[in-house]
Every structure is written in structure tokens, then in C-alpha cells.
């Protein structure tokens, strides 16, 4: 379907992928079901906007796979091959939206925006938030340039990088707990308050070039696992991930990036076998920092792991995936290049926080080096 409001000077393509914004009652619970046209029909169009819809797939986003995400990445690149397109809106489930947004952002070299949005309440309900979020996303997509990939939700504009789902049910579902939002949208205005800092974009990976739109598992993709540390935590699951063929592991450590000496030893073994290991934290906000030994971040880094700055698990996993998919950076290719690229993708706009005063010069400089 194509819809136009007032001559439609700005041409926006909506790529529909499912999520609560497209979910209907199925008798026992909600599931993604409504077409992109139906979802678009719920929202008024901002003035001067023409919209075309692409129905790419229709899943709730806890079922999202890397194959889905690469098919979306490919579709975004194909859509922007048309110079007449001014922007893209992706409707997506909120559960893994931050992962898809970050993947698109890492490979986004176009000045035109990609805006992801969705809903916390289902399709077709009188009190739903989907129509308003979609309207806002269209308005942002028709208004901004050079901001990379964005998340627009509940009147807020967020950079893809660093943004996480922070509310299970509330309408303001997203934020970056370590940084300010980028801006606001509402009352017919888009106000951008700061620029996102993004690493130089990566080219489209070969796996995305061959991914068939809509395919859930067309190409064999590297396994990347996420393992959470906790009291009583041991290396069993980390070793199991290596045995299962993981080529990347995200260790969700405690505090500023700490685990145990046994886990640090398991990390060293995994790294020696060519596995890329990134360390993030269970704590919602703040940067990772090399402060503690005895299995802490000091030892995990010495074992060959990289700290993720302020990126949390889902996006750290995407950074690993993009690194492994980049030509010549695989374990079989050039592990040193892989480590260098992963470091570049992880090192983002981490704000130094005055958590370390005096007496910890090594740790303080580690934090400062990432600032
Ligand atoms: N479970 C849903 C999904 O991610 C939640 C949502 O879309 O808000 O698809």
C-alpha cells in the first residue's frame, strides 16, 4: 500500500517485521499477525509524507534470528539504493529491538535515517501506543539526517548505540542508562539535542548480501553466546559454549566487570582457541573498568577479553557477530584483525564518571582511556 498526505514531498519506506505493534489475540495469548499495511492504517500520516510498506516478516522479536536481522540489513541497503527514498521506518518487537537497531547502525553509511519503533500494547486496541509511536517515527524519518539508526518511542528519540529496553510494560520502554536521549518528538516538532558518536560504519557483510528476505536460517552463521556470572558461578557454561562451537562469547560479569579466577582461566583458554570474548556487566548503568584482580576485570582483560564500555549484553553480542561476519576477521582468518575491529566497535562514547578518585591510578587511567 502507498499512502500520501498533502502531496507527499518526503518518501518514507516502512519495513514491517512484526512485534506487539502487529500483535493480535490468538485465543491463548498475543502474537504478531497484522500486515504492515494494517499497522500503517492505524496511524495518521505526518503532513507532506508519502509511505510505502514492505512486509519483510511477521514475528515477535524474542524469536528474531541473526538471519532475520541480516535479511533486514540487506533490505535497508536495497531500499536506500533508490535515491528517491528519504528515510526508513522499521516496525519491530520491543524485546530485541536494541539488537537489531545496533546491527543496522554498525553497517549504516547513509546520511538518511533508519528509525525503529514498535509498541508496548497490541494492535487494534483503543489505548494502544503503536499508532502514536509510528506517527512519531515517520515524522523523525522525514526530518533528520546524519544521525545513524534511531529508536523512537514514547516521544523520545534515542541513538541505536547504548539504548536498551528498560521497561517490560510501561510506554517509555527504552533508554540508555549511561547517556542522555538524543532528542524528543511531539507537538509537530522534532528536537535533536545532541549528536550520536558512532564508529566508522562497516560494509554490508557477505552473509547479508546472500540472506534471503524473510528467511529465518538461510546461511550458516557464527554462534555467539551470552553467559551471566552470579554468586556460585563457575566456568561450566562458558566451557560448554566453547564446546558447542561458539566463536564469540559475551560474559555478563558482576560490578564493573568482575568474575572469578576460574572463569578468568576459562576465558584465557577460550581466547587461545580463537574465541572472541567480550565482558559486559549485569549493572544497568556505567562503564566497565579494570579495577580488581582475583578474577576481576584486570584478570579478564589479561586473559584476552575486551571490555564493552557502556554497551550491555545484547548489543555486545551484535558487535561480536558483526566482527565475526567481517571478511578476514574470523578465527580462521586473522584473529588479531578480529580483536582490533571488535575493540573499535566496542569503544564508543563512554562518559568517564568520577567513580575513582585517587589511589587507583591504573584503574583511573583505564576509565579515562575509554572516555
Ligand atoms: N514480545 C513482543 C516482541 O518483542 C514485545 C513487543 O513487541 O513489545 O515482539
Tell which one of 18, 21, 60 to mutate to probe ligand 1, the residue whose CB is within 8 A of the most ligand atoms: 60
Asked if residue 328 has pLDDT above 90, the reply is: no
Asked if residue 359 has pLDDT above 60, the reply is: no
Residue 17 CA to ligand 1 center (angstroms) comes to 11
CA distance 17 to 36: 8
Could you tell me the pLDDT band of residue 76, with boundaries at 50, 70 and 90?
Answer: very high
Could you tell me the pLDDT band of residue 219, with boundaries at 50, 70 and 90?
Answer: low
Residue 294's H or E segment, with its range, is none
- DSSP state string for 316-364: HHHHHHHHHHSTT-SSSS-HHHHHHHHHHHH---PPP-TT--SS-HHHH
Tens-place pLDDT, residues 249-275: 999 999 999 999 999 999 999 999 999
CA distance 102 to 92: 13
Could you tell me the pLDDT band of residue 352, with boundaries at 50, 70 and 90?
Answer: very low
- Average model confidence (pLDDT) across the chain: 90
Residue located via cell numbers 528519504? 86
Instruction: Specify the DSSP class assigned to residue 186.
Output: E
Residue located via cell numbers 485465543? 27
Could you tell me the pLDDT band of residue 348, with boundaries at 50, 70 and 90?
Answer: low
Tell me, what's the pLDDT at 182?
A: 96
Residue ranges and CATH numbers for the domains of the chain are: 2-199+351-370 (3.40.50.1170), 219-347 (3.40.50.40)
Residue located via cell numbers 538524543? 182
Asked if residue 355 has pLDDT above 50, the reply is: no
Listing from the earlier edge strand, what are the strands of the sheet with 224-228?
Answer: 224-228, 248-253, 276-281, 306-307
Instruction: Specify the DSSP class assigned to residue 20.
Output: G
Tell me, what's the pLDDT at 327?
A: 77
Tell me, what's the pLDDT at 37?
A: 97
CA distance 341 to 326: 9
Average pLDDT estimate for 140-166:
98
Instruction: Take residue 171 and report the three cell numbers written for it.
Output: 510506554
CB atoms within 10 A of CB 304: 18
Asked if residue 19 lies in contact with residue 61, where contact means CB atoms within 8 angstroms, the answer is: yes
Residue located via cell numbers 554497551? 311
Instruction: Take residue 66 and report the three cell numbers written for it.
Output: 541473526
Residue 133 CA to ligand 1 center (angstroms) comes to 14
Tell which one of 32, 93, 153, 171 to mutate to probe ligand 1, the residue whose CB is within 8 A of the most ligand atoms: 93
Four-residue CA torsion sign, 113, 114, 119, 125: positive
Tens-place pLDDT, residues 305-327: 999 999 999 999 999 999 999 97
CA distance 182 to 1: 31
- Say if strands 114-117 and 87-91 run parallel, antiparallel, or are unpaired: parallel
Residue 32 CA to ligand 1 center (angstroms) comes to 8
Instruction: Take residue 351 and report the three cell numbers written for it.
Output: 562518559
202: three-class secondary structure by DSSP: coil
Residue 86 CA to ligand 1 center (angstroms) comes to 27
Active-site amino acid positions: 20
Interacting residues of 365 by C-beta distance below 8 A, sequence separation 6+ = none
Q: Among the atoms of ligand 1, which is closest to the Cα of residue 97?
A: 4
Q: Residues near ligand 1 with C-beta < 6 Å? A: 19-20, 60-62, 93-95, 118-120
Amino acid at each position: 500500500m502507498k499512502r500520501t498526505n498533502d502531496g507527499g514531498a518526503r518518501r518514507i519506506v516502512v519495513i514491517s517485521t512484526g512485534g506487539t505493534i502487529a500483535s493480535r489475540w490468538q485465543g491463548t495469548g498475543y502474537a504478531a499477525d497484522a500486515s504492515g499495511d494494517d499497522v500503517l492504517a492505524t496511524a495518521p500520516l505526518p503532513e507532506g509524507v508519502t509511505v510505502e510498506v514492505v512486509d519483510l516478516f511477521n514475528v515477535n522479536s524474542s524469536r528474531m534470528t541473526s538471519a532475520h536481522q541480516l535479511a533486514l540489513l540487506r533490505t535497508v541497503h536495497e531500499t536506500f539504493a533508490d535515491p528517491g527514498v528519504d528515510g526508513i521506518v522499521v516496525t519491530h518487537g520491543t524485546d530485541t529491538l536494541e539488537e537489531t537497531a545496533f546491527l543496522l547502525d554498525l553497517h549504516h553509511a547513509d546520511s538518511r535515517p533508519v528509525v525503529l519503533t514498535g509498541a508496548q500494547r497490541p494492535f487494534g486496541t483503543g489505548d494502544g501506543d503503536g499508532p502514536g509511536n509510528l506517527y512519531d517515527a515517520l515524522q523523525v524519518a522525514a526530518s533528520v539526517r546524519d544521525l545513524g539508526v534511531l529508536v523512537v518511542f514514547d516521544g523520545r528519540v534515542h541513538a541505536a548505540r547504548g539504548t536498551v529496553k528498560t521497561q517490560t510494560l510501561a510506554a517509555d520502554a527504552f533508554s540508555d542508562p549511561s547517556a542522555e536521549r538524543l532528542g524528543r518528538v511531539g507537538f509537530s516538532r522534532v528536537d535533536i539535542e545532541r549528536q550520536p558518536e558512532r564508529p566508522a560504519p562497516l560494509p554490508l557483510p557477505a552473509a547479508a548480501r546472500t540472506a534471503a528476505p524473510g528467511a529465518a536460517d538461510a546461511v550458516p552463521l557464527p554462534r555467539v553466546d551470552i553467559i551471566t556470572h552470579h554468586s556460585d558461578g563457575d566456568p561450566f557454561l562458558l566451557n560448554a559454549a566453547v564446546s558447542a562451537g561458539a566463536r564469540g562469547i559475551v560474559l555478563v560479569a558482576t560490578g564493573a566487570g568482575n568474575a572469578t579466577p576460574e572463569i578468568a582461566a576459562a576465558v584465557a583458554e577460550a581466547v587461545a582457541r580463537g574465541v572472541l570474548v567480550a565482558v559486559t556487566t549485569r549493572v544497568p548503568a556505567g562503564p566497565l573498568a579494570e579495577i580488581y584482580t582475583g578474577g576481576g576485570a584486570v584478570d579478564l582483560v589479561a586473559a584476552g577479553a575486551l571490555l564493552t564500555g557502556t554497551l550491555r549484553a545484547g548489543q555486545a553480542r551484535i558487535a561480536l557477530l558483526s566482527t565475526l561476519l567481517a571478511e578476514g576477521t574470523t578465527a580462521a582468518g586473522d584473529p588479531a584483525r578480529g580483536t582490533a575491529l571488535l575493540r573499535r566497535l566496542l569503544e564508543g562514547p563512554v562518559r568517564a564518571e568520577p567513580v575513582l578518585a585517587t589511589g587507583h591510578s591504573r584503574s583511573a587511567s583505564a576509565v579515562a582511556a575509554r572516555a
